[in-house]
Structure 1
Amino acid sequence: MERADILHLLYDADAGDVRRRAGETLLRVKGTRVFVRGLVEFSNVCRRNCRYCGLRAPNRKLARYTLTQAEVLEAAARAVASGADSIVLQSGEGATDAVWLAEVVREIVRSLRVPVALSVGERPARDYALWRDAGATRYLLKHETADPALYARLHPGHSLAERVACLRVLAGLGYAAGTGFMTGLPGQTPDSLADDILLARELGVTMCGAGPFIPQADTPLARAPGGGAALNLRVLSVLRLALPGADLPATTALASLGAGGGQAAGLRAGANVLMPCFTPERRRGDYRIYDGKAPVDMEAVDRAIAESGRTRGPDGEG
């Protein structure tokens, strides 16, 4: 599948036909299972200045927090008891002491015996290696956009090449590496959106998240138009066709769009992962990457799975 093929599927082919083909591919390659990965947002501290994100370091309106190790372990245990097949630990970039996080990972693996994924941004290779040795098997590092110039505008002081280099290091260390990008991002072009899919395929990632851009009030892009559900669902279907074996989440951002969106729609479009939030209730509102974040819990997950005619995991190590 070349760029021209992807562009045709994204913008010219009949949407119903693309969705049908994606559904057939999903059933053939991944089956009816939906993997449920419990998300714990353990810190909203961030050192970067991404122009679209409410966690950006210059945002003085955000109450910053970092959970204790005990709080993280308690949230992870609650997720597994509620039916999550694995744990995803997420934070802002630069928020985490490497040894501290390694201790958390090691205890989750020892006590709960589930796969652990990390999403804590760009770090030195030694940190990635430490966490891999502690038992983490997956790492999610979204590239956000495959357009180098757009990436540089949105991430002052950083480059797409740095991001991709980290993804290659992660794969070399034996992680099941995942990436992701936004749809409807201000400045995104049809070609760059096709390049997002091509980059994910080139990297050979095991997971790729595609969520709609949703503005956040305390960022430079507060007044930018958000991405729509129709494009995001179309991208999910094309991702399923271009990366048939990858795990694709129906994102919380998609659930947050309301009419025309929703995680059941994402599952029908080709997704096979849901990530309910187990961040302690008192801190969930402070993990404000974008505004209007939908409360995705296990009840919402079970409802989306039922509405899409699918079944739960169990999750694997891929």
Structure 2
Amino acid sequence: MSERTKQLLDRLEREHTLSLDEYAALLRGWTHEDAAYAAEKARRACDRVYGDAVYIRGLIEVSNICRNDCLYCGIRRSNRNCTRYRLTADQIMSCCREGYALGFRTFVLQGGETGESDIDAVCALVLSIKAEFPDCAVTLSLGEYPTEAYQAMFDAGGDRYLLRHETADRAHYQSLHPPDMSFDHRMQCLYDLKRIGFQVGCGFMVGSPGQTVETLAQDLKFVETFAPAMCGIGPFIPHKDTPFGGEPAGSVELTLYLLSILRLIRPALLLPATTALGTLRPDGREQGMLAGANVVMPNLSPPDAREKYTLYNGKLYSGAESAQHLAELKQRMSAIGLRVVTDRGDAKSG
């Protein structure tokens, strides 16, 4: 590895900050030796804060109905080949009961954007989950809403909110989204969520069409300055029924390197090894953990819903991706020296 890269990674480990140009330098011409060096540091940094714990989140994909038309997403409103569904409150509560019995203490309610008309239903659902499972955290990942709606969700008992920014570069954002979606509004939502008191998660795709070293550097600088509790990144994977259906998938290796860099930027970050990693590489989740991740989100959704929530081609939802196969996940984590814990898994300081 180059002496320059080593110096930058060493300084990032110590100071948790670099300039935009220095982040770009880390990503320009990086090697496997660079990634291995960063991963070793990142795993050590994670261990200092969280030990060998791997936090599990029970993912419930509540609906694939979406008003947005993002160019990369399989559930975009223009996709006529998408079979739409919406889980009832009873179905979602049933998923939570099954998850609680399996040991999950965080439930992630994820779905397409449906607008303000669903706010009352979302709040009622959060209230029900918190009433029946008071020792559990509820994470929402339902897209952009007005500040008042986020406040209502928080007042109902929502603990965390995931809203991936997808890219911190304005021009790149607009190239991935239709004209009716606004980069400024997406960013404002993130700051609103943080001000309200949610533990906020952001995130970005790796290898999305038009992405450059400079745009990735902006993502890293944004995570550094925004200081989220969580950050979810994964390789871009095309969906056949989108305008980007013929584009190549993002790099697993670059994603792993970026996971390590993110851990060095924020040692206490809750950092998932995403489904997309496991989709592109059989040991993707394990490699993510060795690169510094500490969260996995097995799927608690009803099996027929999992088949319909197709954000990209080949999305995994069975085997160790399934909450019902938690024993397999525990075995796979144990094989790399880590331990799945029954815990809310809140962000720590450090």
TM-score, normalization by structure 2: 0.87
Alignment of 1:62-81 (within 5 A): 62-81=82-101
- Relative distance call for 1:196 and 1:242 in structure 2 (3 A) is same
> Is the counterpart of residue 279 in structure 1 residue 291 in structure 2?
no
Aligned residues of 2:65 and 2:111 also touching (Cα < 8 A): yes
Whole-angstrom distance in 1 between the partners of 2:95 and 2:224: 33
Structure 1 partner of 2:218: 195
Query: In the alignment, which of 4, 24, 32 is matched to residue 7 of structure 1?
Result: 24
- Which range moves more in the overlay, 137-146 or 18-27? 18-27
How many residues were matched structurally? 317
Contact 2:330–2:339 (CA under 8 A) maintained in structure 1 = no
How far, CA to CA, are the matches of 1:20 and 1:4 in structure 2?
Answer: 23
Alignment of 1:244-259 (within 5 A): 244-258=267-281
Question: Partner letter of residue 308 of structure 1?
Answer: I
| Alpha-carbon distance between aligned partners in 2 of 1:254 and 1:122, rounded to the nearest angstrom | 25
Q: Report the Cα distance in structure 1 between the residues aligned to 2:194 and 2:339, rounded to whole angstroms.
A: 30
SS at match of 1:285: helix
Asked if the contact 1:9/1:18 (under 8 Å) is kept, the reply is no
Q: Which residue does 1:309 correspond to in 2?
A: 337
Q: Distance in 2 between matches of 1:131 and 1:77?
A: 21
C-alpha displacement of 1:317: 3.5
Contact 1:263/1:304 (<8 A) preserved: no
User: Of the two, which has the highest radius of gyration?
Assistant: 2
Q: What residue is the counterpart of 1:146 in the other structure?
A: 168
- Provide the secondary structure at the position in 2 that maps to 1:25: helix
Cα offsets for 1:3-45 (capped at 9, x unmatched): 2332343343622111111111111122211110100000000
Q: What SS is found at the alignment partner of 2:244? A: coil
| 1:268 matched residue in structure 2 | 290
Q: Mark the CA change 1:160 to 1:303 in structure 2 (over 3 Å): closer, same or farther.
A: farther
Q: 2:208 is aligned with what amino acid?
A: L
Return 218-227 or 292-301, whichever deviates more: 292-301
TM-score normalised by the chain length of structure 1: 0.96
Residue 108 of structure 1, aligned match among 99, 117, 129 = 129
Equivalents in 2 of 1:122, 1:133: separation in Å? 17
- CA shift at 1:258, angstroms? 2.1
The amino acid that maps onto 2:27 is L
User: C-alpha distance in 2, partners of 1:83/1:265?
Assistant: 24
The structural deviation recorded for 1:84 is: 1.5
SS at 2:140 equivalent: strand
Say which is worse superposed, 6-15 or 167-176, in terms of deviation. 6-15
Match of 1:236 in 2: 259
Residue deviations 1:126-161, cap 9 Å, x none?
A: 111111111101000000011111111211121221
Matched letter for residue 102 of structure 1: C
Q: What displacement does 1:171 show?
A: 0.6
Structure 2 alignment gaps of length 5 or more: 1-16
- Write the letter of the residue equivalent to 2:301: T
CA-to-aligned-CA distance 1:242-274 (integer Å, 9 cap, x gap): 121110000001010025x51011001000000
Query: In the TM superposition, what is the alpha-carbon distance from 1:177 to its structure 2 partner?
Result: 0.6
Contact 2:38 2:257 (8 Å CA) reproduced:
yes
Match of 2:58 among 13, 27, 38: 38
Q: What is the root-mean-square deviation of aligned Cα atoms in Å?
A: 1.4
Percent identical across equivalent pairs?
Answer: 40
Whether the 8 Å CA contact 1:211–1:251 is kept in 2: the answer is yes
Q: Is the CA contact 1:9–1:238 (under 8 Å) kept in the aligned structure 2?
A: no
